[in-house]
């Protein structure tokens, strides 16, 4: 009895502190000397990007943002790639140019500038002019490199930032946006209604399946698959008590994350057509949730399904986007954006796979 009373009155350790303790232990090993600066970034206000809504009548918005000295980091990168193509580094350029979809426009403030964007505004039809998101979240979408008419699956889609970016390409033949959470799927619907006209919304099918069962719904039918899995959302876990996965009550759920991520990635692989491509992404720095999940999936695909997977090289992303993001240079597979005080985006891990 005595023990029980003690248990209920003992001060609870904040989940954010548990998260930081966990990060200090594991990331100082993984990131070494970089960890203190990444940690400082995680604990400071994050930077946003303004993803322009091509469906809104908002012609003056680019001019307005440029007056504030924000720039579209994607068109800047593609201009840089074109210059390289003409110049000395021509041998590096083919992947540089082909990998960027110029229809996606996202404004960011320069390195070291911590200005904030005004809230989005509606046009005369009520469509909002931009969507504020972590600009690093666009990198997995750019890596997917959607081509005209592609059938695209966004397996864990809510609240819909990346779904919206996929639609901004104007290239999806069909987009399947799925998320197991009914409440988060509601937010996805809200995003679609606020940003996308009805005729484009009609090309999107929104579902709420458990993504792990996707192959029972539809097998290998997609040209492009995005698997943006649930993870320890490191920035959120270090800063917010609400809905924190480091809460003592959620220990089991947290420990099971790599297994859930692996199952979702496997379902994504099985959803791709032979020859088609997939991007796996998380907003965590954890190698257990990033590279280890990918490595394990490659083994299982080969051993259990006789599917060979090629890991695509994305190192040119580091060159292209180095002015906007801080990248970790030691990933074995995929790329990782590290938070940094002068470019406080991420974390964002992304890895591109091709089913052979």
Is residue 156 a contact point for ligand SAM (CB under 6 A)?
yes
Q: Is 184 in the site for ligand SAM (CB under 6 A)?
A: yes
Task: Kindly tell me which residue out of 41, 159, 287, 339 binds ligand SAM, with binding defined by CB under 6 A.
Answer: 159
Whether the Cβ atoms of residue 41 and residue 339 lie closer than 8 Å to each other: yes
Of how many residues is the chain composed?
356
Residue nearer to ligand SAM on the CB measure, 177 or 276: 177
Q: What is the DSSP string of 320-336?
A: HTTTT-EE-S--SSSEE
Interface with ligand SAM includes 210 (CB under 6 A)?
yes
Burial of 162 (0-12, 13-18, 19+ CB in 10 A): buried
Contact call for residue 211 and ligand SAM (CB under 6 A) = yes
- Residues of this chain, 89-128, that bind ligand SAM according to CB under 6 A: none
Peptide bond into 159 cis (omega under 30): yes
Catalytic residue among 106, 156, 172, 283: 283
Q: Does 179 bind ligand SAM (CB under 6 A)?
A: yes
Scanning 7-15, 20-28, 150-158, 168-176 for contacts with ligand SAM by CB under 6 A, the matching segment is 150-158
- Active site annotation includes 106: no
Binding segment (CB under 6 A) for ligand SAM, from list 21-29, 37-45, 69-77, 159-167: 159-167
Q: Is 110 left (phi over 0), alpha (psi -120 to 50) or beta?
A: beta
Burial of 22 (0-12, 13-18, 19+ CB in 10 A): middle
CB of 160 to ligand SAM, least distance (A): 5
Nearest distance from C-beta of residue 137 to ligand SAM, angstroms: 6
198-225: b (≥16 Cβ within 10 Å) or e: eebbeebebebbebbebeeeeeeebbbb
Kindly state whether residue 157 participates in binding ligand SAM, applying the rule CB under 6 A: yes
Selected from 41, 49, 230, 347, the binder of ligand SAM by CB under 6 A is 230
Supply the Cα-derived Rg of the chain in whole angstroms.
Answer: 21
Tokens of 253: 């759920």
The whole-angstrom separation of Cα 272 and Cα 274 is 6
Q: How far is the CB of 246 from ligand SAM (least distance, A)?
A: 16
For the packed helices 291-305 and 257-271, what is the interaxial angle rounded to 10 degrees?
Answer: 50
| Residue 181 contacts ligand SAM per CB under 6 A | yes
Q: Where are the alpha helices (DSSP H) in 32-117?
A: 35-42, 61-67, 73-86, 93-98
CB of 192 to ligand SAM, least distance (A): 12
Nearest approach in angstroms of CB 159 to ligand SAM is 5
Q: Which of 162, 236, 316, 352 binds ligand SAM (CB under 6 A)?
A: 162
Q: Where do contacts with ligand SAM occur on this chain (CB under 6 A)?
A: 137, 156-162, 179-181, 184, 210-212, 228, 230
Question: Which residues are known catalytic residues?
Answer: 283
């Amino acid at each position: 009895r005595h023990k029980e009373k003690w248990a209920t009155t003992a001060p609870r350790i904040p989940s954010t502190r548990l998260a930081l303790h966990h990060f200090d232990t594991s990331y100082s090993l993984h990131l070494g000397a970089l960890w203190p600066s990444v940690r400082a970034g995680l604990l400071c206000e994050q930077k946003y990007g303004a993803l322009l809504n091509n469906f809104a009548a908002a012609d003056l918005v680019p001019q307005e943002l440029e007056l504030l000295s924000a720039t579209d980091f994607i068109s800047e990168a593609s201009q840089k790639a074109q210059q390289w193509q003409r110049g000395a580094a021509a041998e590096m350029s083919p992947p540089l140019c082909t990998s960027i979809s110029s229809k996606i426009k996202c404004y960011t403030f320069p390195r070291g500038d911590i200005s904030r964007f005004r809230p989005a505004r509606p046009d005369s039809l009520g469509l909002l002019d931009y969507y504020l998101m972590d600009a690093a979240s666009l990198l997995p979408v750019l890596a997917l490199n959607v081509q005209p008419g592609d059938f695209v699956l966004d397996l864990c889609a809510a609240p819909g930032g990346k779904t919206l970016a996929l639609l901004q390409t104007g290239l999806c033949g069909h987009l399947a946006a799925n998320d197991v959470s009914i409440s988060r799927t509601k937010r996805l619907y809200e995003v679609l209604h606020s940003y996308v006209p009805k005729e484009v919304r009609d090309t999107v099918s929104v579902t709420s399946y458990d993504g792990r069962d996707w192959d029972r719904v539809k097998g290998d039918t997609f040209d492009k698959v995005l698997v943006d899995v649930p993870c320890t959302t490191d920035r959120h876990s270090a800063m917010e008590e609400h809905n924190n996965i480091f809460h003592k009550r959620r220990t089991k759920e947290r420990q099971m994350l790599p297994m859930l991520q692996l199952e979702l990635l496997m379902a994504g692989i099985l959803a791709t057509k032979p020859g088609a491509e997939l991007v796996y992404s998380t907003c965590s720095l954890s190698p257990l949730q990033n590279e280890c999940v990918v490595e394990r999936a490659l083994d299982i695909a080969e051993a259990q399904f006789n599917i060979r997977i090629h890991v695509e090289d994305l190192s040119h992303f580091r060159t292209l986007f180095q002015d906007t993001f801080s990248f970790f240079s030691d990933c074995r597979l995929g790329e990782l954006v590290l938070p940094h005080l002068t470019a406080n985006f991420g974390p964002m891990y992304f890895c591109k796979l091709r089913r052979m």
